[in-house]
């Protein structure tokens, strides 16, 4: 099973924020990217001992509204090791997400509560 954090009614939140204030939408995206950066930093640290060059390519990316993914941004270099992608997943990406999932959930809840309180929701 692939670890993920899902927020219910995210589409409705997105349309409400767009109608209300675009700056709020941008602030939400910035906070999500910061959360993704924490997970990416953990994954880079875990994979640096295997391949420092490849570890440096692990970065957070926003995918649509309210979705952040930690991805490998570097392209395959030789193709001599067909299991390299799964090695990255097993040794760095999945453990980093699992280790950070409670922190990510708390941060997302705090972020949404803060936005709501500040804007009278």
For residues 66-79, average pLDDT: 78
| Position 5 in a domain | no
| Position 118 in a domain | no
List the structure tokens of 38: 């924490």
| Position 3 in a domain | no
Q: Which domain holds residue 76?
A: 10-113
| Position 120 in a domain | no
pLDDT of 78-120, one tens digit each? Answer: 677 787 888 888 888 889 988 888 888 888 788 778 777 776 6
| Position 109 in a domain | yes
Residue 71 burial (C-beta neighbours within 10 Å; 0-12, 13-18, 19+): middle
pTM across the whole model: 0.72
In percent, how much of the chain has pLDDT > 90? 12
For residues 31-38, average pLDDT: 88
| Position 75 in a domain | yes
| Position 121 in a domain | no
Structurally, how many domains does the chain consist of?
1
Alpha helices by DSSP H, the chain: 10-20, 22-47, 52-55, 84-88, 94-118
């Amino acid at each position: 099973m692939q670890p993920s954090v899902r927020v219910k009614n995210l589409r409705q939140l997105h349309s409400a924020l767009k109608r209300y204030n675009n700056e709020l939408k941008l602030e939400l995206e910035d906070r999500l990217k910061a959360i993704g950066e924490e997970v990416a930093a953990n994954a880079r640290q875990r994979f640096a001992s295997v391949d420092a060059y490849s570890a440096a390519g692990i970065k957070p990316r926003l995918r649509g509204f309210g979705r952040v993914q930690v991805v490998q941004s570097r392209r395959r270099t030789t193709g001599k090791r067909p299991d390299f992608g799964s090695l990255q997943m097993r040794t760095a990406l999945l453990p980093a997400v699992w280790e950070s999932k409670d922190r990510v959930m708390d941060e997302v809840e705090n972020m949404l509560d803060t936005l709501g309180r500040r804007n009278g929701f």
